[in-house]
Chains A and B, each alone.
Chain A
Amino acid sequence: MAGIAIENVRKSFGSMTALKELSLNVEDGEFVALLGPSGCGKTTLLRIVAGLETRTSGRILVGGRDVSDLPPRERKLAMVFQNYAVFPHMTVYENIAFGLRMAKADRTKVERQVQRAAGLMHIEHLLGRHPGQLSGGQRQRVAVARALAVEPSVLLMDEPLSNLDALLRMEMRAELKAVLREAGTTTLYVTHDQTEAMGLADRIAVMHGGRIEQLAPPMAVYRTPATVFVGSFVGAPPMNFLRCQAADGAVAIGALKLACPRNSGEIVMGVRAEDLLPATAGTGLPFEVRVVEPLGSHALLTGTAHRQQIRVVYAGERDVSAGETLHLAPIAGRICWMDAADGRAIEGTT
């Protein structure tokens, strides 16, 4: 078993900087998700760890061993690719056995490991087929089984579920989590899907513009985003951000008065859509409803408060209709104060 240490890794393509000096520690057996929009450098970082991409500077350590200059085959890791990359001219069995055969494992070991990996992914009945005869979901299972068969200490996954349909994705997500937890495999997982990252990871590294904006457990990322970007990228709907004026260490919006960590000037108040609860008229934040989307367990309201657009998750008894004005009060302790200039969370406020 082994952890991954990424130390001051930087990557530029010509004049374009893909990764700004970046460090990340993945503990032994931990599942870390690299989450970010496309072009944020998350896949580049994963490929550098895999050895498929060169770094401009910095070091990569796997299990304490510097692998920075080793070719991929000597890094002792396994990888699952976005488009599966199952070898089309080999049977499923040979695909899964590929890594073991390359490592010159003996016949009984190959047989045992292939059966075990196939069993974990529930594809024992497909071993004799060729990938051309499989569906996308089955190919994905083969790709994961191929990675698991070598019993890697470190597993890299590059958006492995993004080509599957929604239902299959949910099913695979749960299975992956169970299998990897069981095996205790250190996993670095790239995704742009925040529900995937939230559901799977022990810790999430939210990336933006070639740097890690925040590295924290899922709920911490959700509740206390380090920057405005993290708050608006993680969670559906995204976090609401209201620009307000501070005066004497407090902000006043309508009848709502809240203590804030700035004495004067502009400040940004971040609050999750479900953390705004209806209050009695005349108190709280006036919210003019423009759109009502009933979603079963709750309704999603879009409207304006303090002349800015916000979204509110409404689970109240009474039906709400567009054009109405609600009064809202935030749950105490669920407000994140952000610096209006650089969009960073103000320390010690949450």
Chain B
Amino acid sequence: MRPRSLLFWAGVATMCAWVLVPIWLIAAGAIGGRQGVFLWPKSMLPPEFTFSALAVFLRIEGVGKALWNSVAAAAMTMAFATLLGTPAGYALARFSFRGQNAYRLLILLTRAFPIAILALPLTVAFINWGLYDTTLGVALVHTALALPFAALVTSSLFVGIPRELEEAAWIFGCTRLQAFVKIVLPLALPGIAATGLFAFVISWNEVFAASVLTVRERTLTAYLLTVLSESPLHFRFAGGLVLILPSVVFIFAVRRYLFAMWGIANR
């Protein structure tokens, strides 16, 4: 093997290990039984192979409801972020307006604002509006977190679609809206879908806002944080695995579109 390709494969191996080893350790903790967790040094295969921890975990009071809340909040986040972010991205891509660059920066700046500072005022506001301790409230905060990504990613999608395609549609009888629906949307749809799934994952993984803004209607992450801090270690691993798996599966499912929208050649 030539040194260059050796270096390349070493890099690939490091990247894979970086991602896969922690996931494997969590999975091993979850299915390795009570002894497996405390075993040191760790063996490649866990000493036993049991789903009992997972089963017990899923039967814990409230996990089912939290799971449902998480799915609902993530689905709403996906819908809101896509429906609000796509038009914003289109405007950024197609229209030149005064303060366009400032607007672009402003979108990113919403992410620079630490949510910890917003927690208290948000809680007060949500109580006043009747949004406190509701899944909708959580979804709204998560939408605010996912929206910058949605707007910027869809904007780069639309930039990649030649303006002439739309102009041709106008010439041949389309209104602006018709041209968007008939020409631009079908071409951008895979990317928009990926953006939506990305928003789903952001919401699914978010724990801070969900913990602060809910008491009974917890999402899975927030629920696990409170419940599992008192549980035996292998239950915590089981909870962790349940949390990780959906995101990993999602990202894996849409990886082609993620590559496409980040400008990496689509293979």
Q: What distance in Å separates the Cβ of A159 from its nearest Cβ neighbour in chain B?
A: 12
In the bound complex, how far is the Cα of B132 from the Cα of A124, in angstroms? 64
**Bound-complex Cα distance A50 to B166 (A):** 13
Q: Which of A73, A85, A99 contacts B162 (CB 8 A)?
A: A85
Stretch at the interface among B100-108, B172-180, B199-207: B172-180
Of A74-82, A111-119, A171-179, A331-339, the one touching chain B: A74-82
Interface: A37 (CB within 8 A): no
Give A94 Cβ to nearest chain B Cβ, in Å. 10
Q: Which 9 A-B pairs have the closest CB atoms?
A: A102-B173, A85-B164, A99-B172, A85-B168, A72-B170, A73-B173, A79-B171, A81-B164, A89-B186
| Min distance, Cβ A151 to any Cβ of chain B, angstroms | 13
Residue among A72, A79, A82 facing the most chain B CB atoms (10 A cut-off): A72
CB interface residues, B 137-166, toward A, < 8 Å: 162, 164-165
Contact present for A87 and B173 (CB under 8 Å): no
C-alpha spacing A89/B175, complex, angstroms: 19
- When A83-B162, A83-B164, A85-B162 are in contact, do A73 and B171 touch as well, CB less than 8 Å? yes
A89 pairs with B187, CB closer than 8 A:
yes
Asked whether any CB of chain B lies closer than 8 Å to the CB of A323, the reply is no
- A167, CB-defined interface residue at 8 Å: no
Q: Can you list 21 A-B pairs, Cβ within 8 angstroms, ordered by A?
A: A50-B171, A71-B175, A72-B167, A73-B171, A73-B172, A73-B175, A77-B171, A78-B172, A81-B167, A83-B164, A87-B165, A89-B186, A98-B169, A98-B172, A99-B173, A102-B172, A102-B173, A102-B174, A102-B178, A103-B173, A146-B172
A51 CA to B173 CA, complexed, in Å: 12
SS class, residues of chain A in contact with chain B: loop
Total contacting residues, chain A, CB less than 8 A? 22
Whether the Cβ atoms of B165 and A85 lie closer than 8 Å is yes
Instruction: Tell whether A134 is near chain B: CB-to-CB under 8 Å.
Output: no
Interface residues of B (CB under 8 A from A): 162, 164-165, 167-175, 178, 183, 186-187
**In the complex, what residues of B have CB within 8 A of residue A102's CB?**
172-174, 178
The residue on B at minimum CB distance from A98 is B172
Indicate whether A39 reaches chain B with its CB closer than 8 angstroms.
Answer: no
User: Does chain B have a CB within 8 A of A88?
Assistant: yes
Q: Name B164's closest neighbour in chain A (CB-CB).
A: A85
Residues of B within 8 A of A98 (CB): 169, 172
In the bound complex, CA of A85 to CA of B164 (Å): 6
Closest to A150 in B: B172
Chain A positions 42-78 with a Cβ under 8 Å from a chain B Cβ: 50-52, 71-73, 77-78
> Distance (Å) between the CB of A327 and the closest chain B CB?
54
